Amino acid sequence: MAIPTFTFDAVIIGAGGAGMRAALALAKSGYNTALVSKVFPTRSHTVSAQGGITCAIGNAHEDDWRWHMYDTVKGSDFIGDQDCIEYMCKTGPECVYELEHMGLPFSRTDDGKIYQRPFGGQSRNFGGEQAARTCAAADRTGHALLHTLYQQNLQANTHVFSEWYAIDLVKASHGKGFAGVTVMNIETGEVAFMHARAIVFATGGAGRIFQSTTNALINTGDGIGIALRAGLPVQDMEMWQFHPTGIAGAGTLVTEGCRGEGGYLINKDGERFMERYAPHAKDLASRDVVSRAMALEIRAGNGFETKGVQHVKLNLVHLGADLIKSRLPGIRELSMTFAGVDPIIEPIPVVPTCHYMMGGIPTNVHGEVLTVDADGTERSVEGLYAAGECACVSVHGANRLGGNSLLDLVVFGRAAGLHVEDQLQEHLPLHPVSDDDIEAATGRLRRWQDNKDGESVSDIKAEMQKVMQEDFGVFRTAEYMASGVEKIKGLRERLQHAVLTDHSKVFNTARIEALELDNLMEVAAATAFAADFRTESRGAHSREDFPKRDDENWLVHSLYFAEGDRLSTRGVNMKPKTMDPFEPVERVY
């Protein structure tokens, strides 16, 4: 089967913040770049980010990127790579000023500077008083950022393949590295091969492995699935952030900025319970800490119940109508739509909700994908990059701080773009490719075309989401996880026989959902195996049978390879370039 071939210097898969920032860097370089996205770029999930982008530009008070770095390392529960965190925090201000120059409509201070608000886990002077470090465009920062980057890409004439879906990586015929990626035009069903010297994954998260998530329906871990099928490892996949404030029942996000602006959580007695769990930071403790406290309150019978859903409440009433309307207008809109509650008048029902994948495709500080050979040698994969939520640089370690996700996107989207440009200038070749290898990278399509008798995509997806929700949630134990692993293995096998009934070509969304489920299942399996593997509690990974952090054995990243569900570990980088490292200490807020 000969399929059309497009040839590019670089192909970027995914048009959220990371993909569009990388594309922008490359478009300006003059290299022939394709930006492939399964949705029109401004429909990407970055659009849903609310509270802001964190960096030490010091508009609210004296600030220092090293203080930001300290908070991020501590937030990561010490398995964030310190060389990468250093790079992110240090480069952050430059990247944020760039966004402002591009036109991002930041909110402003009285003297006309970018407005910054307090967020969780932020401190001044290495653990001192609360900082205000998150740059915001009201509570629509992601929307403002994504649209700004799309607009810049329009101006730069980036070649956008909108509503094209990436299927799989194609091996180079000489056996080393990758020659490109197979893609499908969703509108026509046409399959093509994109032959490229460099490939950047920017496919975002995969929160849809859980029943209840703040994530968009499109967050199906496509890049993770593709990487695993190509024999590459994924890192720290047990680390999933549960955001404290998803609207109960609906799962939609309520920004941490609400608590940054002075909001607080209450239980059914009206008690501000975070004072008991985090006496110093209270409601602005790290997300893992707040989510666990909420889960414990609900478990102790201190929650509210609405239509069968247990929850606590987020009180903003005391902030007053003016502040809510000017700083949190989007939250008011979402709360009224999805909870039927106007936060000016009454508190919002909230519950910890799956929000962010700290794990992902391991990369170095340039966004180059890392792998480990059979003999244990670690190396980067030439020409292959990952940035944003699908990547694990790792700047978030075991727990991401609020506002660090948008920063990660622009810093490492840009870094990947710049490094690709550099490598294209140097030597990156267009690898030779065989028809057989292209054919192999469309195997999934044929399976879905040929299967005649089996279960439906929606049934298997629902069952997978239930297993992940019940056995790999906020609290985890060996017993549940072992049974969860078995269930996921069973579902993974059943998925191989599942059927698609719609085989039409034009805008066949059922086919896309089937292909997405292949990826979700890879992510679920990686998560389940990695969670069972790590026998300690750290950051978002909280085990009732191993309640303590175990630095002696687990101050490491986990690695998972799909082949044989193999697990291993790799060291955490403790060598920042310009300063002494932060040594692990007990993490209190």
Partner 1 sequence: MTEETQKIHFKIYRYNPETDKAPVMKDYYLEVPKATDMMLLSALIQLKAQDETIAFRRSCREGVCGSDGMNINGRNGLACITTLSSLKQPIVIRPLPGFPVVRDLVVDMEQFYRQYEKIKPYLQNDEPAPAKERLQSPKDRKKLDGLYECILCACCSSSCPSFWWNPDKFIGPAGLLQAYRFIVDSRDNQTTERLKDLEDPFSVFRCRGIMNCVDVCPKGLNPTKAIGKIRSQLLKEGT
The contact set with partner 1 (CB under 8 A) reads: 39-40, 42-45, 47-48, 57, 97, 100-103, 105-114, 137, 140, 143-144, 147, 151-152, 154-155, 187, 216-218, 249, 252-253, 307, 330, 333-334, 337-338, 456-458, 500-502, 504-510, 513
Query: What is the nearest approach in angstroms of partner 1 to the Cβ of residue 446?
Result: 19
Active site residues: 287
Name the residue nearer to partner 1 (CB basis): 84 or 191: 191
Name the residue nearer to partner 1 (CB basis): 126 or 507: 507
Name the residue nearer to partner 1 (CB basis): 39 or 525: 39
Q: Which amino acid is at 427?
A: H
Give the DSSP letter string of 449-485.
Answer: HH--SS-BHHHHHHHHHHHHHHHSSSSB-HHHHHHHH
**Terminal CA-to-CA distance of the chain, rounded, Å?**
59
Name the residue nearer to partner 1 (CB basis): 190 or 435: 190
CA distances from 173 to 190, 263, 437 (A): 24, 58, 7
Name the residue nearer to partner 1 (CB basis): 102 or 440: 102
Query: What is the nearest approach in angstroms of partner 1 to the Cβ of residue 116?
Result: 11
Residue 130 and residue 284 in contact, taking contact as beta carbons nearer than 8 Å: yes
Query: What is the nearest approach in angstroms of partner 1 to the Cβ of residue 366?
Result: 25
CB atoms inside a 10 Å sphere around CB 424: 20
Q: Is the peptide bond before 542 cis (omega within 30 degrees of 0)?
A: no
Sequence-distant (6+) residues with CB within 8 A of 279 are none
Sequence-distant (6+) residues with CB within 8 A of 180 are 11, 169, 170, 193, 194, 195, 196, 199, 431, 433
Q: What is the dihedral of CA 361, 363, 369, 373, to 10 degrees?
A: -90
Name the residue nearer to partner 1 (CB basis): 213 or 537: 213
Which of left, alpha, beta for 307 (phi over 0: left; psi -120 to 50: alpha)?
Answer: left
DSSP E strand boundaries for 264-393:
264-266, 304-306, 309-315, 348-357, 361-362, 368-372, 378-386, 391-392
Query: What is the nearest approach in angstroms of partner 1 to the Cβ of residue 494?
Result: 17
Calpha distance 52→179 (Å, rounded): 37
Name the residue nearer to partner 1 (CB basis): 375 or 502: 502
Tallying the residues shown for the chain, one arrives at 589
Query: What is the nearest approach in angstroms of partner 1 to the Cβ of residue 118?
Result: 19
Residue 137 and residue 257 in contact, taking contact as beta carbons nearer than 8 Å: no
If we measure between CA atoms, which residue out of 240, 204, 268, 270 comes closest to residue 38? 204
Name the residue nearer to partner 1 (CB basis): 101 or 318: 101
Query: What is the nearest approach in angstroms of partner 1 to the Cβ of residue 545?
Result: 36
Sequence-distant (6+) residues with CB within 8 A of 235 are 359, 360, 361, 362, 392, 394, 557, 558, 559, 560, 570
Name the residue nearer to partner 1 (CB basis): 142 or 233: 142
- Containing 98, the helix (H) or strand (E) segment is helix 82-102
Calpha distance 502→509 (Å, rounded): 9
Strand partners, 195: 7, 180
- Containing 275, the helix (H) or strand (E) segment is helix 274-277
Q: What is the dihedral of CA 507, 510, 513, 518, to 10 degrees?
A: -120
Residue 139 and residue 48 in contact, taking contact as beta carbons nearer than 8 Å: no
- Tokens encoding 424: 């294209």
Q: Which amino acid is at 415?
A: A
If we measure between CA atoms, which residue out of 151, 92, 196 comes closest to residue 414? 92
Residue whose pair of structure tokens reads 């700083």 in the numeric block: 327
Calpha distance 68→427 (Å, rounded): 36
